[in-house]
Structure 1
Amino acid sequence: MRNISDVIEGYLRQVIELSERDHIEIKRSEVAEKFQCVPSQINYVINTRFTIDRGYLVESKRGGGGYIRIKRIRLHQKSDVIAEVIERLEHGATQIMAEDIVFRLLDEEIISKREAKLILSAVDRGTLLLPIPTRDEVRARILIAMFFTIKYQTNI
């Protein structure tokens, strides 16, 4: 059974996909009421599932007329997505960042499920038994090498 965070994420993704605009605006309290949860649960989902590494920009405006705007970043070329990801990896990659990037590439059909599993197992903290920050630097270098290979070997 899926947990409430998965359900809320699925709902928000569906709203984004069905939207005719390039973004959606939601009221945290309204979404919380819809799912009968606390508003902080909505914050948690947005902060962990709608990150830049997963291909989203999030803006918020507080106050009475406040909203949360979620925008899906869609680049025209798959090679542009990989180039953007590689640029973000230049300063290292945490486990969460690596996972988010892989999920984004999977979501945008740049990599297969099999490739995603292989990449994640290669850069997992259990595989890279090194101290931080060395582990994050090594993880980023491995990801960059893999993504360069994907970019130039598959001609995307």
Structure 2
Amino acid sequence: MRNISEIIEQYLKQSLQQSNEGMIEIQRNDLADQFACVPSQINYVISTRFTLEKGYIVESKRGGGGYIRIQRIELNAHGSVLDHIFKTISGQIDQTTSEGLLYQLKESGYITSREAALMKAAIDREVLVLKLPLRDEIRARILKAMLISLLSK
């Protein structure tokens, strides 16, 4: 059985897919009531599963008419994907950001789940047993080389 965080995440992703504008606005308390959970659970899901690294922009407005707006960043053109990769990776990349990038590329259909898993394993901090910042520099080089190889068909 899936936990409440996964259920909320799936609900929000489905709502985003059904949205004509590519974004949704939600009321945190209303969503918490809908899923019979505390509002902080909604915050947790949004802050951990809808990050910029994973391809989402989240804005919030507090107060009486407050809302949380979630927008999916679309990677449409092949060139824009490579640009996004180079901007995200640059000269170094930490593990969390690299995993977010792989997640975003997998969700957008640019790489398979298997390719993402292989790359994630190759750039893991347990494999790259080096001191920072060298580890992040080596991770960036490996990840960039693998992604360019896969996406330059």
Q: TM-score, normalised by structure 2?
A: 0.92
CA distance in 2, matches of 1:77, 1:33: 39
Per the alignment, residue 146 of structure 1 pairs with 146
CA drift at 1:6: 1.1
User: Unaligned 5+ residue runs, structure 2?
Assistant: none
Q: Percent identity?
A: 48
1:1-156 equivalent positions in 2, closer than 5 A: 1-152=1-152, 154=153
**CA distance, structure 2, for counterparts of residue 133 and residue 39 of structure 1:** 38
Distance 2:30 2:78 in 1: 35
Residue 9 of structure 1 aligns to which amino acid in structure 2? Answer: E
Report SS of the residue matched to 2:53: helix
2:58 touches 2:68 (CA, 8 Å); kept in 1?
A: yes
Q: In 1, Cα distance between the equivalents of 2:20 and 2:30?
A: 21
The CA distance in 2 between the partners of 1:8 and 1:78, in whole Å, is 31
Q: Which runs of 5+ in 1 are unaligned?
A: none
Structure 2 contact 110–151 (Cα < 8 Å) conserved: no
Deviates more, 1:86-95 or 1:102-111: 86-95
Could you tell me whether the CA contact under 8 Å between 2:75 and 2:108 is conserved in 1?
Answer: no
Code of the aligned partner of 1:99: E
Query: Structure 2: which amino acid aligns with 1:7?
Result: I
Q: Return the offset for 1:91.
A: 4.8
* RMSD between superposed Cα atoms in Å: 1.4
Kindly tell me the number of residue pairs found equivalent between the two proteins: 153
